[in-house]
Each structure stands twice: as structure tokens, then as C-alpha cells.
Amino acid sequence: MSENMDSMLNENNNRISNGFLTSQIKYHKEFGPFARRPFTTWLIETTSETFGMKLGVAFVPVNFFLLFLSGILIYFLSICLKQNKQQGLFNMLCYFLTFSILFAFFPPVFSYDEPLQYCFILLSLLSFVQKKWVFYLVFFSLALVTRETTVLLLPALLIFLPGLKMASKKWFTLNRLRLSALIVLPVVFYGAFIAIYLWKHQLIGATKTEMISRYSCFLENFENTKNTVESLVSFFVSLGVPLYFAFLFLKGKDKNNFHQKFVYAFLLTVLINSPIVFVSSFARESRLFALPLFFLWPMVSQLFGKDLKILSSLKTYTQLLMKWKYLLPFLILNFLTYWFCFRYYQKLGLGENTYFAEYLFLSIFIITTHFLWSLSNRRQHS
């Protein structure tokens, strides 16, 4: 009993604990913001009852299966977007190597509803690409019920109108307005659902109180050095590398309208989602920053394949090491990165018993290496 109580109270669990997971499931049933997202909890409870599992134990097969399924859906969405099987598998690998996916159930990432939300979002995007609008309405509405933050994807979806490949100079056309209304229609369904659900379960008062108190999250995100570093690092490990390659792509000469739409959709969602996370949520929960990546995950190979291939070539590193002009900055930057990740970052008590510092180091290493190689290559051809 005491072991279970310790597990429930200690958020730094580094082992699977039935006591801790059970407490989280109950918390998601009782606390207003989570109680209005019933799907994942219902799946866990149903699995527990059907197979005679402990409630905390049932969390594991449900969410790990959903996470695996979301990876499969990334593959099928990649194929649907005219990529070959190798590219689809590569995109799926990049998805699973994303920080918020790789460390999905580590504290303080604490994924709960996200795996199911991701499955519904990806199913809705598959339907969107294939113009199966009834399925789109159903799956996007379900994604909204699973986690209401799904709504932040809608502005970026409008970028793809009137079609994935078509470029229209006229914004106000009858066809565009009709499709726009169709795309945002799930919000109406969700609004009706949440109004009835909150009223039936007497959660309206709790929801109002929770919404008012959310702004205190901003103060906590930046109230001291530790929290500030953790918040900014959380943003960086989630989006730093994708943002670097996205801006690099826009500066390139071989981009086309089809590819640009995905990058613009990603950047627009970053601009919408990130300030909301910093102001109204705990930024250290890095999964909250991952929403814009839905526009990159199924397109990584097409958008950034050439740049990522550079990082896997031995020639890239020999080119840097053979030139003093680039060797010195390379060594200095990596030394500073090492000091920040494995000395300063961990000295603050962050990333203990995890591989967060290693992931952070690798992320910065990727950016600095590619940047110096690009600088070297540009001057070589100038």
C-alpha cells in the first residue's frame, strides 16, 4: 500500500507503476479539463474489465497500441501523398524518433489522450487528402472530443484549399467558401457535444474556474531560472530541428507549391499553438508543442530528405574536420553544447534518469553540423 502511495505522489517515476497510472486515470475522470475528454479513459476501463487487468496495467497496452497504430497511419498518409514505400517507412521512423513520441510516457511529457488523438487526426487527414468528407467530419470531430487542441490545426488546413496541388489567386470563390465551411464544421459538432456533456456531468462551473486559472501557467513557466530553461528547452527539443529545416527549405530554390503548403501549414500552426502553450499550459510538457508536426511527419522525406542525407554522410564530417576555418567553430560549438546539456542543464535538476540531455545534445549537434557544412559548401561554390 505504501509503495502504491509513493508511486501516486511522485511524478518522477522511472518505472511502470500500477499505483501511479491508476491515480492518473482517476484524475482524468474527476478533474474538469480531463473529464471532458472521456474516450481514452473509457478504452482503458473497458480493456481492464474485458481482460481482467488492473486499471493501471490496462493503460500500457491501450496507449502503446494506439501509438504504434498512429505510426502505421503516418506510413499510409505518406503513401497517399505520393511517396514510395521507403519514404513512407523513413517518415514513420522520424515520427517515432520525435522527442514527444520517443519519450511520450516519461515525466514530465505525460502523454495520455495524445495517442488516440493522433490516430483520429491522421485518419481525418487521410480522409481530407482523399476528399472523403463524411469520414473527415467524423474523424476530426472525434479528434476534437479526444483533445480540443485539435482545433488549432484548422487554420492551416485552409491553406490547402481548393486542393493540395492547385494554386488559386482568388481567395473568395464559391468553391473555396464551401470547402472552408466543410472543414470547420466539426467545431459545430464538438460545440454541441461539449455543451451537453458539461451540462449532464455538472462540469460547467469547474470548466469556468479552470479556464480562469490557466493564465497562472505562464507565470510558472518563467518564474525562475530552472522553469525558464525547462520551458525553452521543451520548445526546442520539440520543434528546433524541424523549424531549422523548414526555414532552410523556404530559402531553397527547388521548392514547389505542393511542398510549400506543408511547410507554411507547419509554420502557421507553430505561430498559433506555441504562444497558447506558453500562456495557458505547462510548457515543460513538450507534447503540447508537437501539434504542428502533423504537417511535416508524412512529408519529411520529400521536404528534408536531401538535407538529412548530408548528415549521414562521412564526407560531411571530413569536410568540416579538414578545414581549420570550420573545425574550430565546430569544436567550440559542440563543447558549449556539451557543457549546456550535461553540466548546466542537469545541474538544474532537469533530465535526471532520462535521456533528455542526450536528445538535446543531438538536436543541437544536427543543427550546428548542417549549418557549418552549408556555410562551407556555399563558400566553396561561390
What Rg value do the Cα atoms of the chain yield, rounded? Answer: 22
Residue 8 has pLDDT above 60, yes or no: no
Per-residue pLDDT of 122-135, as tens digits, reads 999 999 999 999 99
Instruction: Report which DSSP code applies to 158.
Output: G
**What's the rounded Cα separation, in Å, for the pair 166 and 258?**
8
Of all residues in the chain, the percent with pLDDT exceeding 90 is 66
Q: What integer is the mean pLDDT of 87-103? A: 97
- Give the chain's largest Cα–Cα span: 70
How far the first Cα of the chain sits from its last, in Å, is 70
Phi-psi region of 98 (alpha: psi -120 to 50; beta: other; left: phi over 0): beta
Question: Which burial class, exposed, middle or buried, applies to 63 when counting CB atoms under 10 A from its CB (0-12, 13-18, 19+)?
Answer: buried
Which three cell numbers, joined as nine digits, stand for 62?
491501450
Q: What integer is the mean pLDDT of 184-198? A: 92
Model pLDDT, residue 382: 52
Q: What integer is the mean pLDDT of 37-53? A: 94
- Collect all residues with Cβ–Cβ distance below 8 Å to 80 and sequence separation of at least 6: 126, 129, 130
* Alpha-carbon distances, residue 238 vs 1, 91, 129, 285 (angstroms): 37, 16, 26, 10
**What's the rounded Cα separation, in Å, for the pair 163 and 179?**
10
**What's the rounded Cα separation, in Å, for the pair 177 and 158?**
10
* Alpha-carbon distances, residue 323 vs 136, 211, 241, 327, 329 (angstroms): 53, 56, 25, 6, 10
Average pLDDT, the chain: 89
* Alpha-carbon distances, residue 368 vs 155, 175, 307, 329 (angstroms): 32, 45, 13, 9
Model pLDDT, residue 381: 55
Model pLDDT, residue 379: 62
Residue 102 has pLDDT above 90, yes or no: yes
Instruction: Report which DSSP code applies to 151.
Output: G
Sign for the CA dihedral angle at 361, 367, 373, 375 comes to: negative
**Which has more pLDDT, 161 or 315?**
315
Q: What integer is the mean pLDDT of 78-95? A: 97
Number of helices (H) and strands (E), helices first, in the chain?
A: 20, 0
**What's the rounded Cα separation, in Å, for the pair 145 and 192?**
11
Q: Which residue has the cell 490545426?
A: 153
Per-residue pLDDT of 261-296, as tens digits, reads 999 999 999 999 999 999 999 999 999 999 999 999
Instruction: Report which DSSP code applies to 340.
Output: I
The neighbour count for residue 254, using CB atoms within 10 Å, is 7
**What's the rounded Cα separation, in Å, for the pair 381 and 377?**
6
Q: Give me the phi and psi of 274, to 5 degrees please.
A: -60, -50
Q: At what angle do helices 55-80 and 114-129 cross, to 10 degrees?
A: 20
Per-residue pLDDT of 311-370, as tens digits, reads 988 888 888 888 888 899 999 999 999 999 999 998 898 877 789 999 999 999 999 999
Model pLDDT, residue 1: 33
* Residue (of 287, 303, 292) closest to 254 by Cα position: 303
**What's the rounded Cα separation, in Å, for the pair 14 and 184?**
41
Q: What integer is the mean pLDDT of 83-100? A: 97
Lowest mean pLDDT among 37-46, 81-90, 209-218: 209-218
* Residue (of 145, 149, 151) closest to 193 by Cα position: 145
Compute, in degrees rounded to 10, the torsion defined by CA atoms 133, 138, 139, 143: 130
Where residue 4 falls among pLDDT bands split at 50, 70, 90? very low
* Alpha-carbon distances, residue 126 vs 73, 75, 79, 215, 295 (angstroms): 8, 11, 10, 35, 12
Model pLDDT, residue 377: 79
